[in-house]
Structure 1
Amino acid sequence: MTALAHTALGTLRGDTSDDVVVFRGVPYAAPPIGERRWRPTQPTQSWAGIRDATVFGPIPPQAISPERLAKRGLTMSEDCLTLNIWTPAADDARRPVLVFLHGGGQTQGHGSAPLLDGSQLARRGDIVVVTMNFRLGALGCLYAPDWHGAGSTNLTLRDQKCALQWIRENIGAFGGDPDAVTAAGQSSGAIAVATLMASGCDLFDRAILQSGGLERVRSTAAASAVAEQFTGAVGRAGEPSVEQILAAQGGIDPGFVPPQGPFHPCLDGDVIVEHPLVVARTRAMPAIPVLAGSTRDEWRIFDATLGDDVVTERYVRQRAQALAGQGHDVDAVLAAYHADHNSLRDVAGALVTDYHFTAPTEQFVRAHAERGNAVFRYELQWPSPRPELGACHDSCLPLVFGNLAAAPGLAGADDAARGMSEAIQQLWLEFIRGGEPWERYDGVGGPTMILGRESGTAMGHRAAQLAFWEHRYPAYG
């Protein structure tokens, strides 16, 4: 059964399934093709008649096989700036809105992934759920203003801001409340949400940060080094093809210290003037409530392919020293991590988990809380059915969206997993609706909600380990 939404730009036709209306492939900006490649996001044009919105739009260019694309019924194109919207009804009910920014290291992912299907959340919470596509990799994050001119930097963030502006102006046509928008993101999506907050973006009213590695926001020097590698591969004469762009960005050496990625937001002096951790510590950001956290074993999924012959005491010490930086004795921190973990592999993963995910997230929201803003901290400890993964990166996604069967290896799909998913959804929905799902976080050692086989708030959770990393972030050095 079809349904219509009457936006300021024209009418859209979606379809209805199990009491949820879905609008797919909704354009929020002009296609970034031709002369608009490497250029700031431009508004989309209005249309006449009824525009079909029953099929997902193309995903952004990324390294994915044609067979995998075809299996999922998807296409790939630079013409990718679209939204997907799930709503109980395209009426005037003014429901809370959840806008979710996917992860993938700014080189992978899309808003039409089965894990991010918003049907269950929209139905369960009587909310509107929105996912989006935006430019990725070099097409979204290349820092080369001398080549592409002013306005060519941080295009991913510019796309995301344009999408949020579109949502403010048009979500009412889908039964949503434009004054009750929660921007959520996971992994690189969480980095984007925090960076938008730090840049003063006022296009959302609440924020959810899941597993965001804020230390990945790069300096112009680091971003320029990536651009030099990229341009060395594709040249500056003429426009490279998508295939050449993907090949070039896949060959970039991101650096030794895990887990550096070549394409992330950078301090371009335009979209981002200062590092988000510096901003959080030195001046007020938009005074909005924040729910933030990470999984207990984020990095274990990335270490799973390392053989036991690799993860030796020497390897773990070298990793700890690389992460801690020169001039810092790592004996004390290694002793603390060995006390909490049973194996060298667990220690190696925990070091990166804290350095990249937990500690910078804690510092960002701690500063926000100290300014009197509502902050709710969590740690997800629900284990994967694969013992070697623990509570790993991405495991929050099937639990939050309720799509356990889409990736049963991440969080399971049995009755216990469904119960955990329902509990987490209820907490997230309470926050999205404007409530306080648990006790507020008020600084180091403050209440942290532990979500796992035994859930509840904990005080002083892992404060000593997290304090070690304070010297590694721009806010403190």
Structure 2
Amino acid sequence: MTAVAHTSYGALRGEANSAGAGGDVVVFRGVPYAAAPTGERRWRPPQPPPGWAGVRAADTFGAIAPQDISTERLTKRGLTMSEDCLTLNIWTPAVDDQRRPVLVFLHGGGQTQGHGSAPLLDGSRLARRGDIVVVTLNFRLGVLGTLYAPDRHGAGSTNLALRDQRHALQWVRDEIGAFGGDSAAITVAGQSSGAVAIAALLAGGCDLFDRAILQSGGLERVRSTAAASAVAEQILSTGAFTRGGEPDVEQILAAQRGIDTGFVPPQGPFHPCIDGDVIDAHPLVVARTRDLPAIPILAGTTRDEWRIFDSALDEDIFTEQYVLDRAQALAGPDHDADAVVAMYRADHPTMREAAGAMVTDYHFTAPTEQFVRAHAGRGNAVFRYELQWPSPRAGLGACHDSCLALVFGNVDAVPALAGNDGAARQMSEAVQDRWLEFVRGAEPWQRYDGAGGATMLLGSETAIARGHRTEQLAVWEGRYPAYE
């Protein structure tokens, strides 16, 4: 079965997809939302895609953005990689005039990895269960999406990934009615660096969506102009850019690999930056000092975000001195590192777990809480959560990325993240039901009203908590760079 949608650029033919969705949905893959950012358009803002005659097949995912991934993995997943990557994917219960709520999802990956066609992000189950339209997309990554070099590439060349995302959101606003979606009911959601991007878009005043969901965002990672300039200087001093002419993709990726991404504290050399154009101040500063777009926000983190990253380290690394040094690096000179370690050790049986919990709070939980606290303080609806559902893999707990399988209902895609048994599927349905309430415009649980306010704990026992971990979060208050 196929269906045809008529956009401003031409007609598209999608195909039915019933796998695991409880009924057919129609999926449109590889839909161009912008012209190829190649040649003279490489360092330029996205431009409208060219139109086409006849009916264009939308049955193949578009090329993913250039990133470090082996040819073998690409082939195994049936994917290609190219700079010509500005496409999106749409799952809809039907191509009709029902005007369903729309969920646009921005993938994570540290702004250097990922794509909207990942199995975890398959929108079939979510679209069918919620009777909504689900959209995922690709956008420029790494150097090609974030290089801060306005002196070299001119005005409009900065924060290209954010410009791509903004352009895609405009495309959705303009065209989603052709796919059974409601252009006046768009929720943008993002996980990890996708959530960072949403915070940056909000800080820049983007009004192309009506509600926002921020999942596991390291919101402190938006870079100062100086930090972005320093990364650009390193990139532009490599042979890829100094030998003359425009470098090819492999040369750019090689230059990108030479940048130290840091570990603890986490660094984000390819995240959005304060460019004075797309964004003029850090999202945490904007939220605190002036109005963001007055839309409802659902935001939160997993309980044990950082454990999956620490799992790569040997056990003998986590000595008392190592954990103390980590606490000092994170908390800064104004805090007693011994007291910070003691506080986290009181809640965690091992040094590894305590060390991971500190980074979880510093990088994910505390900046998210500060961002939404300020938004709620201006009278906006905020719904805060902590996902406590543990990975079945020993030692990971409720780790980073585990929310994806639950939200999209694809617990079978990567079972190690959230499990793939009856209990995991029930947890997924519970999470989906709350996300879908929010997407439909309802209030999924009690509003968060400031420090210590209502937080939904999502796990084997789901309940609202107040005063949840306020002592730990207070350690990181004011710790982030003042980018004013």
TM-score, normalization by structure 2:
0.97
The amino acid of 2:247's aligned partner reads: P
**DSSP 3-state at the match of 2:477:** helix
CA distance in 1, matches of 2:256, 2:483: 32
Matched, 1:73 2:82: no
Q: Is the CA contact (8 Å cut-off) linking 1:14 and 1:21 kept in structure 2? A: yes
Q: Is the CA contact (8 Å cut-off) linking 1:60 and 1:77 kept in structure 2? A: yes
**DSSP 3-state at the match of 2:476:** helix
The offset of 1:48, in angstroms, is 1.2
CA distance in 1, matches of 2:262, 2:96: 50
Tell me the residue number matched to 1:337: 344
Q: Is the CA contact (8 Å cut-off) linking 1:281 and 1:475 kept in structure 2? A: no
Select between 335-344 and 101-110 the one with higher mean Cα deviation: 335-344
The offset of 1:205, in angstroms, is 0.1
The offset of 1:328, in angstroms, is 2.9
Matched, 1:453 2:471: no
Gaps of 5+ in 2: 19-23
**DSSP 3-state at the match of 2:206:** coil
Q: Is the CA contact (8 Å cut-off) linking 1:278 and 1:474 kept in structure 2? A: no
For residues 242-287 of structure 1, the C-alpha deviation after alignment (integer angstroms, 9 at most, x for no partner) is 0111111011113464211210000011111011011101111111
Tell me the residue number matched to 2:12: 12
The amino acid of 2:381's aligned partner reads: A
Q: What pairs with 1:110-189 in structure 2 (closer than 5 Å)?
A: 110-189=115-194
Tell me the residue number matched to 2:21: none
The offset of 1:373, in angstroms, is 0.6
The offset of 1:235, in angstroms, is 2.5
Q: Is the CA contact (8 Å cut-off) linking 2:90 and 2:136 kept in structure 1? A: yes
The amino acid of 1:139's aligned partner reads: L
The offset of 1:332, in angstroms, is 2.4
Matched, 1:243 2:240: no
Q: Is the CA contact (8 Å cut-off) linking 1:470 and 1:476 kept in structure 2? A: no
Counterpart among 441, 458, 472 of residue 465 in structure 1 = 472
CA distance in 1, matches of 2:270, 2:338: 33
Q: Is the CA contact (8 Å cut-off) linking 1:226 and 1:254 kept in structure 2? A: no
**DSSP 3-state at the match of 2:316:** coil
The amino acid of 1:413's aligned partner reads: N
Tell me the residue number matched to 1:374: 381
Q: What pairs with 1:346-425 in structure 2 (closer than 5 Å)?
A: 346-425=353-432
CA distance in 2, matches of 1:125, 1:88: 9
Alignment coverage as a number of residue pairs: 477
Tell me the residue number matched to 1:100: 105
Q: What pairs with 1:267-346 in structure 2 (closer than 5 Å)?
A: 267-346=274-353
Q: Is the CA contact (8 Å cut-off) linking 1:86 and 1:119 kept in structure 2? A: yes
Q: Is the CA contact (8 Å cut-off) linking 1:24 and 1:55 kept in structure 2? A: yes
The offset of 1:340, in angstroms, is 1.1
The offset of 1:83, in angstroms, is 0.6
The amino acid of 1:470's aligned partner reads: E
Structure 1 pair 131–256 and aligned structure 2 pair: CA distance change class (3 A): closer
The offset of 1:185, in angstroms, is 0.1
Q: Is the CA contact (8 Å cut-off) linking 1:40 and 1:155 kept in structure 2? A: yes
Q: Is the CA contact (8 Å cut-off) linking 1:277 and 1:474 kept in structure 2? A: no
For residues 328-368 of structure 1, the C-alpha deviation after alignment (integer angstroms, 9 at most, x for no partner) is 32232222111111110001100110000000000000000
Structure 1 pair 468–198 and aligned structure 2 pair: CA distance change class (3 A): same
The offset of 1:474, in angstroms, is 4.4
Q: Is the CA contact (8 Å cut-off) linking 2:99 and 2:182 kept in structure 1? A: yes
Structure 1 pair 335–67 and aligned structure 2 pair: CA distance change class (3 A): same
CA distance in 2, matches of 1:372, 1:183: 20
Structure 1 pair 256–455 and aligned structure 2 pair: CA distance change class (3 A): closer
Tell me the residue number matched to 1:221: 226
Tell me the residue number matched to 2:199: 194
CA distance in 1, matches of 2:241, 2:17: 49
CA distance in 1, matches of 2:416, 2:189: 23
Q: Is the CA contact (8 Å cut-off) linking 2:88 and 2:116 kept in structure 1? A: yes
Gaps of 5+ in 1: none
Matched, 1:253 2:260: yes
**DSSP 3-state at the match of 1:445:** coil
The offset of 1:167, in angstroms, is 0.3
Structure 1 pair 476–6 and aligned structure 2 pair: CA distance change class (3 A): closer
Counterpart among 91, 94, 97 of residue 89 in structure 1 = 94
CA distance in 2, matches of 1:62, 1:101: 16
CA distance in 1, matches of 2:264, 2:432: 35
The offset of 1:146, in angstroms, is 1.6
Structure 1 pair 256–349 and aligned structure 2 pair: CA distance change class (3 A): closer
The offset of 1:148, in angstroms, is 1.2
Tell me the residue number matched to 1:39: 44
The offset of 1:198, in angstroms, is 1.3
For residues 412-465 of structure 1, the C-alpha deviation after alignment (integer angstroms, 9 at most, x for no partner) is 001110010000000000000000010000000001000011110001000111
The amino acid of 1:218's aligned partner reads: R
CA distance in 1, matches of 2:200, 2:150: 20
The offset of 1:387, in angstroms, is 1.8
**DSSP 3-state at the match of 1:110:** coil
